[in-house]
Amino acid sequence: MDFLRVAGAQLNLVVGDIDGNTDRIIEALAWAEDCQADVVLFPELAVTGYPPEDLVLKESFIRDNISAVHRLAARSGETAAVVGFVDRGAGQRDDAGHPRVHNAAALVAGGGLRGVYHKGLLPNYGVFDEDRYFAVGENGGALWEINGVAAGVSICEDIWVPDGPPAEQLAAGAEILLNINGSPYHRGRGSERQEMLAERARSAGVPLVYLNLVGGQDELVFDGQSMVFDASGELLYRAAQFEEELFWVDVPLPESSGVAPQAVRVTTGDLLDGDQEPAPPTHEPYEEIEEIYRAICLGLGDYVRKNGFSGVVIGLSGGIDSALTAAIATDALGAAAVRGVTMPSRYSSTGSVEDSRSLATNLGIDFDEISIEPPFTGFLEALGGAFELTEVDVAEQNLQARARGALLMGLSNKFGGIVLATGNKSEMSVGYATLYGDMVGGYAVLSDVSKTLVYQLARWRNRNGEVIPQNSIDKPPTAELKPDQKDTDSLPPYEVLDPILERYVEDDASVGEIVKEGFDQATVERVVQMVDRNEYKRRQAAPGVRITTKSLGRDRRLPITNKYSG
Amino acid sequence: MDFLRVAGAQLNLVVGDIDGNTDRIIEALAWAEDCQADVVLFPELAVTGYPPEDLVLKESFIRDNISAVHRLAARSGETAAVVGFVDRGAGQRDDAGHPRVHNAAALVAGGGLRGVYHKGLLPNYGVFDEDRYFAVGENGGALWEINGVAAGVSICEDIWVPDGPPAEQLAAGAEILLNINGSPYHRGRGSERQEMLAERARSAGVPLVYLNLVGGQDELVFDGQSMVFDASGELLYRAAQFEEELFWVDVPLPESSGVAPQAVRVTTGDLLDGDQEPAPPTHEPYEEIEEIYRAICLGLGDYVRKNGFSGVVIGLSGGIDSALTAAIATDALGAAAVRGVTMPSRYSSTGSVEDSRSLATNLGIDFDEISIEPPFTGFLEALGGAFELTEVDVAEQNLQARARGALLMGLSNKFGGIVLATGNKSEMSVGYATLYGDMVGGYAVLSDVSKTLVYQLARWRNRNGEVIPQNSIDKPPTAELKPDQKDTDSLPPYEVLDPILERYVEDDASVGEIVKEGFDQATVERVVQMVDRNEYKRRQAAPGVRITTKSLGRDRRLPITNKYSG
């Protein structure tokens, strides 16, 4: 049986690093040639990194990325390469005066650019804004002949819709579908993708190769998990998740119809003779909690590495959120890159300091103890006149949190390292956090992780022995900003709060709908009001890793000034 | 000559306040009936407020806004009303599972809903994301008969493109064009609009009525300035800028062709008999600096009022930025709502405190003096161990700024009032600001105002006598965080910096292009690098009033993790 040797370069590329990305692509291209691959796939917008956002509006950026494609093309040989880049459109400008450009795939081989495909379906929902940047491609039915095989090339969203460009390619006689992606991770995304792709291959009756980007980019994590399906929809190979990988698979081709479809010639060699090699052993998906943990590690690690930070600084409260954050940071960056700081006040239990110290010991990270009493007392002294005759209230509580934030930033400014915010999604949703206090940080590791999920992740991290002190897991959550404070003084218990938040924030359900599902009306109304009122805090929050279908970041865009509630 | 009496309700509506907006609309409808108007226009998405952003993804929000339209319709009488709302589409869901809806205009009269127009051109650039929310309308050529006159109704963007829906309406026989808007202000926008609209009316040969929203919504200011043009493109009337207004104009109709166009009947009455009344005296546009000043006042005022704050708290440094911020706040909200706080340190000149005190006296606002020495000393004490053997550097400087930020937030938490950040666009562009320090605040009044423009606005504010102390205007800008510090120690002079920033930030020009325009290469490279490196700070900045074609807010979306420079 004939087969096409398809290689995949599941690379971790860097947004804006056109030269660096191009070097990585050329390196992988050489590897693919060594493997005698007929074709090698690179991720969506591999040259520019994904998503480049408003960099696409810069004329110099477009020019530089096109030069890079010419450099790639000049370097190409017998293996055809499919490489994502930003192509110039037909020269018109859009309503805003920007040049019309396309999210495109270059087909390069034999020292030249053989063809270009323009993405036909542009996602413009959730985290995606592709209508802002790209014009719709109109060569959806084009085919590319690679060593005599008619291939349909498409980009990400193109394959998600049953009658998208790949359907046109099949109608034109495509014998294999090649789809390149920058598809971000969220919980459960892998199996959704696999099901959809298997169904596409099966109903098409041709093999399908899905190549995905890997790596963290601000809020997004691209999880790799590239996949190869045969013409019956069987999974032949699944690449690693959250890791770079170069792979190739001999993809069996279905019987040719005998009619040679119209196609642009990319390579003119012959298919490999002889028996096809078996696909390498497939990577099994991680169990869900481990997968989430690894997604967060990659998101954090890449944010720190790609932005050139020497390490991280974390305030350790003795609670579970900061403990889990420190464990993730240690796993992502190594213990030497992590500095934990406990900052007790008059309201801190001795347990909090001890638990933080145990955690630091267990992780092997640097540990400081800095009392906030001197600055806190200083604040109270400075405000003595203004606060005279007032009751002690949330103002004094927030000053403690803000003293801590400033101390962490002081360490960061003095010694380098980025401060990590430790708040979870439940707190951030209801605004149970101090702006410029515990919200301080360049990256918010748990900002898309509900408190309930924080517990699950902590228990998973402790599966081989106690790293996060059991006491931090067991004790009732508290901000320790006044005597005997508990989260439940201000919030419903998390087992009630979290399902309400999931329905309201992630699913856009109304109060009425949530109440119908069995929740107490007054509780739901109170939670919804807290969420709505605290939009201003979230607007000033650090970005964090997106792991759900709707994080509190770029995929949730609510007005601050807003009288709607419900 | 026949004329149509067209009324405009240039209202300041509130996003999400469906009930409140509907009440305001009903009130204006009654007024229009009293005026014997044939038709009254309301702003784009008047029922929901504009822009509602992701509220549109909530099914309950759509339902509530449609109920409101039915309430309006039931209340309508002899005057036809054109009211913006969100209409349900043909029932399909989009790729993300959201219901397809339209940015729409309801035509109501005689107690019923007579028709609906769907916006055909959806802006999805700059500050606009309408492709995220709305489906494209397909009834562009529909006409609506109002007392025998065939009117073409369109929404905002529809009229900006020469061959948009109004062109179809003209081809179908429209005798007048009615265009409702939520068109945000930026410097120079008014004359761009007027020129474009006059040209549309002139080339159409029919009158055109342009009705715009007024009011502040988060970063955006809608400036009103509704306009009425006759069939020759002459401006008959311009409504007030930055203020609500109800107006009506008897718009002369061109000679009828005699052929009655196909139109949906909205009202079946007769045009008014007798002579048309002259249009009210037109509002002249403000001189540019005054216009900008008033735009900022409206943006700030509406943010404070619509979010229910009792007042504002402003740190007064003795410099020009905080002085201008305080003057704007006083003009927008009244002196009683403004609290100024001077927070001297060991590095503050006595002049800084005195200038702040004079300013407060001139404005008649509350004034506190709170020394930051106690918390600053407390921070140094707390960090004494960690900072041992290190040189004094930016870490100590930032602790001062952060002590000030925490003190302002303390006053806000204790007494209410929103803290205003006072940084200007030049500083925010290059990151010459302390995160959690002087960046503290719920609203950043000058965040789209370059330092050069700050001076112009301050001089304009002092046109009738000194309010902002001359000393604050004259002295070289300084952060006063170390002895004898000047902004020019770290930055090029503002007369060099600001033009570079305008080209790089607002125009997306490259380093090469800017250097070609006569700037020093090393300076341009340094500035560009500062801008690129400080994206993370801007991501955590408070929103502020947009007054240029590209603010640092929602209309500039650059990745934080980004290796591209140039």
Tell which residue, A178, A433, A443, A154, has the closest CA to residue A319.
A433
For residues A369 and A353, is the Cβ–Cβ distance under 8 A?
A: yes
**Strand runs labelled E in B119-260:** 144-146, 149-155, 176-181, 208-212, 214-217, 220-223, 227-229, 235-238, 245-252
Q: H or E segment at A169?
A: helix A165-171
Confidence tier at B277 by pLDDT (50, 70, 90): very high
Q: Residue B457 above 80 pLDDT?
A: yes
What type of residue sits at position B530?
M
pLDDT for res A96: 61
Stretches in chain A below the pLDDT threshold 70? 91-99
For strands B39-41 and B3-10, give the pairing.
parallel
pLDDT tens for each residue of A457-480: 999 999 999 999 999 999 999 888
- SS3 letters across A292-324: HHHHHHHHHHHHHHHCCCCCEEEEECCCHHHHH
Residues 6+ apart with CB under 8 A from B90: B100
10 Å CB burial of residue A157 (0-12, 13-18, 19+) is buried
Q: How many CB atoms lie within 10 A of CB A2?
A: 18
Tell which residue, A199, A203, A271, A204, has the closest CA to residue A235.
A199
ipTM greater than 0.90: yes
Tell which residue, A164, A214, A283, has the closest CA to residue A44.
A214
pLDDT for res B94: 66
| Euclidean distance between CA atoms B247 and B227, whole angstroms | 10
pLDDT for res A484: 87
Q: Name residue, tokens 């041992």.
A: B388
Confidence tier at B98 by pLDDT (50, 70, 90): low
Structure tokens at A327: 């464990």
Is A59 close to B372, i.e. CB distance below 8 A? no
Q: Any CB–CB contact under 8 A between B411 and chain A?
A: yes
Q: Any CB–CB contact under 8 A between B390 and chain A?
A: yes
Q: Which of A52, A508, A511 sits opposite B57 (nearest CB)?
A: A508
Q: Choose, out of B414, B438, B525, the residue to mutate when testing the contact with A (most A CBs < 10 Å).
A: B414
C-alpha distance from A470 to closest chain B C-alpha (Å): 29
C-alpha distance from B481 to closest chain A C-alpha (Å): 15
Confidence tier at B259 by pLDDT (50, 70, 90): confident
Is A557 close to B125, i.e. CB distance below 8 A? no
For residues B109 and B77, is the Cβ–Cβ distance under 8 A?
A: yes
- At residue B475, the 3 state secondary structure works out as coil
Q: Residue B91 above 90 pLDDT?
A: no
pLDDT tens for each residue of B499-548: 999 999 999 999 999 999 999 999 999 999 999 999 999 999 999 999 99
Is B59 close to A302, i.e. CB distance below 8 A? no
C-alpha B196: how far from its chain's center?
A: 20
Confidence tier at B349 by pLDDT (50, 70, 90): confident
| Euclidean distance between CA atoms B393 and B398, whole angstroms | 9
Confidence tier at B146 by pLDDT (50, 70, 90): very high
Tell which residue, B15, B547, B12, has the closest CA to residue B242.
B12
To 5 degrees, how large is the angle CA B377–CA B379–CA B384? 95
pLDDT tens for each residue of B39-65: 999 999 999 999 999 999 999 999 999
Tell which residue, B83, B85, B203, has the closest CA to residue B144.
B83
DSSP conformational letter for B161: S
Name chain B contacts of A371, Cβ cutoff 8 Å: 382
C-alpha distance from B355 to closest chain A C-alpha (Å): 21
| Angstrom distances, CA of residue B378 to CA of A344, A446, B122, B392, B512 | 14, 31, 55, 16, 48
Q: Any CB–CB contact under 8 A between B94 and chain A?
A: yes
For residues B115 and B144, is the Cβ–Cβ distance under 8 A?
A: yes
Q: Choose, out of A418, A531, A564, the residue to mutate when testing the contact with B (most B CBs < 10 Å).
A: A564
Is A414 close to B436, i.e. CB distance below 8 A? no
Name chain B contacts of A561, Cβ cutoff 8 Å: 14-15, 216-218, 302-303, 306-307
Give catalytic residues of B, as residue numbers. 44, 119, 156
